[in-house]
Amino acid sequence: MARIEPDVKTVKEIQAAGGDTVKKCYQCATCASVCPLATEDVPFPRKQMLLGQWGFKEKLLSDPALWLCHQCGDCSVYCPRGARPGDVLGALRNMAVRELSEFKFLWTFYNKPWGLPIIFLICAFLVLFVMSWFHPPISEWVGSLPMGYPHDEGRRVLMIDALFVPLTVFVIIMVAIGVNRLWRGLMENAKIPAAYRLGLWAILVTYLVPAIKEILAHSRFQECGANRWRFNGHRMVLWAFVILAIVTTTVFVGADILGFHTPWPLYNPIKILANIGAIMLIYGCLALMANRSRAALEGSLSSSYQDWFLLWLILLVGLSGLATEGLRLLENDWSCVAYIVHLILVAMLFLSVPYSKFAHLVYRTTAYVFDLYSRDVRAKMAALEAQAAPSTTEEISAPEATEEEGEEGTSEEGQTA
Amino acid sequence: MKIGAFICTSCNIGDRLEVGDLEAAARDQGAQFVASREFLCSKEGCQFINETIKNEELEAVAICACSPRVNYDVFNFGKVAVERVNLREGVVWSRFPVPGEDEESVDDSKEVAEGVTFKDELMSLAKDYIRMGVAKLQSYKAPEPYKPEEEISKTVLVIGGGVAGMTAALEVAKAGHPAIIVEKEKELGGFVAKMKAQVKAEPPFDGLSEPVVGKLISEVQGNENVTVHTGAQVTSIKGAPGLFTVTIKKGGSEEEVKVGAIVVAAGWKPYDASKLEDLGYGKFADVVTNVEFEEMCAKGELKRKSDGAPVKSVLFIQCAGQRDENHLPYCSSVCCLVSLKQAKYLRETDPEAKAYIIYKDMRTAGIYENFYKAMQDDPGVFLTKGEIKEIQEENGRLLVKVDQTLFGEEIEVPVDMVVLATGMVPATAEDPIIPLEYRQGHGFPELELFYGFADSNYICFPYETRRTGIYAAGAVHQPMTIFQAMEDATGAALKALQCLKAIEMGHAVHPRTWDFAYPEWDLKMCTQCKRCTEECPFGALDETEDGTPMPNPTRCRRCGTCFGACPQRIINFKDYSIDMVTQMIKACEMPEPDYGLYRVLALVCENDAYPALDMAAYRRLNLPVAFRVIPVRCLGAVNVSFVKDAMSKGFDGVLLLGCKFGENYQCHFIKGSELANRRMENVAETLQQLALETERVTLEIVAIDEVEKLPKIMGNFIEFLQEYGESPFKGW
Domains along the sequence of chain B with CATH: 1-142 (3.40.50), 156-269+427-505 (3.50.50.60), 286-410 (3.50.50), 520-572 (3.30.70.20)
From chain B, pick out residues whose CB is under 8 angstroms from the CB of A8.
Answer: 351-352, 354, 379-380
Domain assignment present for A392: no
From chain A, pick out residues whose CB is under 8 angstroms from the CB of B409.
Answer: 1
pLDDT band, residue B525 (cuts 50/70/90): very high
Residue-wise pLDDT for B352-391, tens only, equals 999 999 999 999 988 999 999 999 999 999 999 999 999 9
- Helix (H, G, I), strand (E, B), or coil: what is residue A51? helix
pLDDT at B44 over 90: yes
**pLDDT confidence of residue A132:** 81
Lowest-pLDDT range, B352-356, B503-507, B726-730? B726-730
From chain B, pick out residues whose CB is under 8 angstroms from the CB of A5.
Answer: 413-414
Top-ranked range on mean pLDDT: pick from A128-132, A192-196, B378-382: B378-382
The ipTM of this complex is 0.82
pLDDT at B332 over 60: yes
Sheet of B60-65, strand order: B33-37, B3-8, B60-65, B81-86
Q: Could B384 and A54 be called an inter-chain contact, meaning their C-beta atoms sit closer than 8 Å?
A: yes
A80: closest chain B residue by CA: B373
Interface check for A27 against chain B (CB to CB < 8 A): the answer is yes
Domain assignment present for A400: no
Q: Could you give the percent of chain B with pLDDT greater than 70?
A: 100
The closest CB to that of A23, out of B376, B406, B408, belongs to B376
| Distance between CA atoms of residues B457 and B670, nearest Å | 8
pLDDT at A31 over 90: yes
Domain assignment present for A408: no
What distance in Å separates residue B383's CA from the closest CA in chain A?
A: 8
**pLDDT confidence of residue B236:** 97
Residue-wise pLDDT for B629-679, tens only, equals 999 999 999 999 999 999 999 999 999 999 888 877 778 888 889 999 999
**pLDDT confidence of residue B316:** 98
A13: closest chain B residue by CA: B379
Average pLDDT, chain B: 94
CATH no. for residue A57? 1.10.1060.10
Domain assignment present for A405: no
**Residues contacting residue A41 through CB under 8 Å, at least 6 positions apart:** A374, A375, A378
The one-letter code for the residue type at B486 is: M
pLDDT at A186 over 50: yes
Domain end: A42, A74, A100, which one?
A100
Nearest to A364 by CA among A182, A108, A174, A103: A182
| Distance between CA atoms of residues B338 and B372, nearest Å | 10
Domain end: A83, A100, A117, which one?
A100
Domain end: A58, A78, A100, which one?
A100
Strands B397-403 and B387-394: antiparallel
One domain, residues A245 and A157 = yes
For residues B311-316, give the mean pLDDT.
Answer: 96
Work out the angle between the directed axes of helices A269-298 and A230-251 (0-180°, nearest 10).
Answer: 150
Average pLDDT, chain A: 85
**3-state helix/strand/coil string of B2-35:** CEEEEEECCCCHHHHCCHHHHHHHHHHHCCCEEE
**pLDDT confidence of residue A396:** 45
Q: Do B454 and B331 contact (CB within 8 A), yes or no? A: no
**A-B contacts (CB, under 8 Å):** 55
Interface check for A103 against chain B (CB to CB < 8 A): the answer is no
Q: Could B362 and A26 be called an inter-chain contact, meaning their C-beta atoms sit closer than 8 Å?
A: yes
Q: What is the dihedral of CA B67, B72, B77, B82, to 10 degrees?
A: 40
Residue-wise pLDDT for B65-100, tens only, equals 999 999 999 999 999 999 999 999 999 999 999 998
For residues A293-316, give the mean pLDDT.
Answer: 90
One domain, residues A292 and A319 = yes
What distance in Å separates residue A219's CA from the closest CA in chain B?
A: 29
pLDDT at B115 over 60: yes
| Residue ranges making up the domain that contains A178 | 104-367
Nearest to B332 by CA among B324, B322, B341: B322
Q: Could B409 and A26 be called an inter-chain contact, meaning their C-beta atoms sit closer than 8 Å?
A: no
Q: Could B379 and A51 be called an inter-chain contact, meaning their C-beta atoms sit closer than 8 Å?
A: no
> What backbone torsions phi and psi does residue B250 show, to the nearest 5 degrees?
-135, 115
The closest CB to that of B382, out of A46, A47, A54, belongs to A54
Domain assignment present for A222: yes
One domain, residues A113 and A198 = yes
One domain, residues A48 and A187 = no
pLDDT band, residue A108 (cuts 50/70/90): very high
Interface check for A189 against chain B (CB to CB < 8 A): the answer is no
Nearest to B423 by CA among B349, B358, B523, B333: B333
A16: closest chain B residue by CA: B379
One domain, residues A181 and A250 = yes
| Distance between CA atoms of residues B653 and B647, nearest Å | 7
Residue-wise pLDDT for A223-239, tens only, equals 877 767 788 899 999 99
From chain B, pick out residues whose CB is under 8 angstroms from the CB of A46.
Answer: 406
| Distance between CA atoms of residues A9 and B692, nearest Å | 84
For residues A305-320, give the mean pLDDT.
Answer: 95
The residue that leads in pLDDT, A134 or A204, is: A204
List residues of chain B with CB under 8 Å from any CB of chain A. 351-352, 354, 362, 372-373, 376-380, 382-385, 406-414
DSSP summary character for residue B482 = H
Residue-wise pLDDT for A374-393, tens only, equals 999 989 888 888 887 765 54
Domain assignment present for A398: no
How many domains does chain A contain in total? 2
One domain, residues A92 and A126 = no
User: How would you class A411 by CB atoms within 10 Å of its CB: exposed for 0-12, middle for 13-18, buried for 19 or more?
Assistant: exposed
Interface check for A199 against chain B (CB to CB < 8 A): the answer is no
Domain assignment present for A204: yes
B541: β partners: B551
DSSP summary character for residue B731 = T
**pLDDT confidence of residue A144:** 66
Domain assignment present for A110: yes
Alpha-helical regions (H) of B12-161: 13-16, 19-29, 43-56, 118-138
**pLDDT confidence of residue B432:** 93
One domain, residues A260 and A341 = yes
Lowest-pLDDT range, A41-50, A401-410, B214-223, B485-494? A401-410
The closest CB to that of B411, out of A1, A27, A81, belongs to A1
Residue among B349, B356, B376 with most chain A CBs within 10 A, to mutate:
B376
**pLDDT confidence of residue B6:** 97
pLDDT at B732 over 90: no
One domain, residues A90 and A117 = no
Interface check for A417 against chain B (CB to CB < 8 A): the answer is no
One domain, residues A74 and A90 = yes
The closest CB to that of B354, out of A6, A24, A25, belongs to A6
What distance in Å separates residue B362's CA from the closest CA in chain A?
A: 9
| Distance between CA atoms of residues A378 and B691, nearest Å | 76
Say how far residue A372 (Cα) sits from the centre of its chain: 17
One domain, residues A245 and A353 = yes
One domain, residues A143 and A83 = no
pLDDT at A220 over 90: no
One domain, residues A277 and A333 = yes
| Distance between CA atoms of residues B200 and B207, nearest Å | 6
Lowest-pLDDT range, A133-137, B203-207, B340-344, B573-577? A133-137
Top-ranked range on mean pLDDT: pick from A80-89, A296-305, B257-266, B689-698: B257-266
> What backbone torsions phi and psi does residue B419 show, to the nearest 5 degrees?
-115, 125
